[in-house]
Amino acid sequence: MNVQQIINNPNKAVAVNVHWLRPEEGGRRALPNGGRYMAVTYLDQPPNADSIAWTVVLDFTEYPAQQGYDCHAEAHFLSPNAPFEQLLKLRPIDLYEGHKKVAWIR
């Protein structure tokens, strides 16, 4: 699928690699054990008081608890007005639960 086909995709989902931080790195105590996971990202790095939060939705065909700390998912933003093109860039996008960074996607 080329970039134009992805942008024209009504779901605007893109395949990503997910790297979960281990507990000793400040990550979750356990990997998600479900097919869908939602987290917040701040596209300004590092986040500051003026950063806009966007919800990222990850859909897994195989649960992260089964795949391990490096896994695959389809990612899209919850809001249809989110800057979808950010998912197409090669830089990592950090994922947060509250103020705690738990993973990054690329």
Q: Percentage of the chain with pLDDT > 90? A: 73
Residue 38 lies in a domain: yes
pLDDT digits (tens, 9 = 90+) for 34-66: 999 999 999 887 778 888 999 999 999 999 999
CA–CA dist 47, 35 (Å, integer): 28
At 5, which helix (H) or strand (E)?
helix 3-8
Q: Which domain holds residue 89?
A: 18-105
For residue 92, give the amino acid letter. Answer: P
CA–CA dist 1, 11 (Å, integer): 14
SS3 at position 24: helix
Residue 8 lies in a domain: no
* CB neighbour list of residue 19: distance below 8 Å, 6 or more residues apart: 69, 70, 92, 103, 104, 105, 106
Tell me which residue has tokens 């093109």.
Answer: 85
Q: How many domains does the chain have?
A: 1
Residue 4 lies in a domain: no
pLDDT digits (tens, 9 = 90+) for 95-104: 999 989 999 9
Residue 61 lies in a domain: yes
Residue 7 lies in a domain: no
Global pTM reads: 0.86
Q: How far is CA 29 from CA 2, 44, 76, 102, 104, in A?
A: 37, 26, 25, 10, 16
Residue 11 lies in a domain: no
Per the structure block, which two tokens stand in for 37?
Answer: 């996971």
Name the pairing type of β-strands 93-97 and 14-20: unpaired
